Amino acid sequence: MERLRSGRETMGELMEDDIERFEEERELELYREYRDVLPMFSYVIETERRFYLANKVDLERLEDGWVRVELSDAWVWDMFRPARFVSHVRVMTRRDVNVEELRRDETAIPDTPDV
């Protein structure tokens, strides 16, 4: 019985390692895609839930502290999303939204992230 239990624990540890390795590989792929597409965009937008690149950004303050963010011609940082290029995004939030305009000389980034 003890051998079986330790075998299951080892199998579980291997599966956990495989999942972690898969996620790390996906993050690295996503980083590389980000590095490649960054020069195509004018703005970096960060919300509490997502990170975007876009060529057009409209912010509108609404009642009760809401902010509507409209993005056109955008790219979404999301490793589980099959299509990251989107033509239009609308975000409704009561939290902080950070919008930065990119300078063309700032778009060169390293091949791999600093870890």
Q: Which domain holds residue 31?
A: 2-98
For the entire predicted model, the pTM comes to 0.71
Question: Would 68 be classed as within a structural domain?
Answer: yes
Question: Would 115 be classed as within a structural domain?
Answer: no
- CA-to-CA distance for 48 and 26, rounded, in angstroms? 21
Question: Would 10 be classed as within a structural domain?
Answer: yes
* Contact predicate 69/88, CB 8 Å: no
Number of domains making up the chain: 1
Question: Would 87 be classed as within a structural domain?
Answer: yes
pLDDT, one tens digit per residue, over 72-105 is: 999 999 888 888 999 999 999 999 999 999 987 6
So what's the pLDDT on residue 113? 62
Which residues on neighbouring strands pair with residue 57, listed in sequence order? 71
Question: How much is the average pLDDT of 33-39?
Answer: 92
- CA-to-CA distance for 33 and 27, rounded, in angstroms? 10
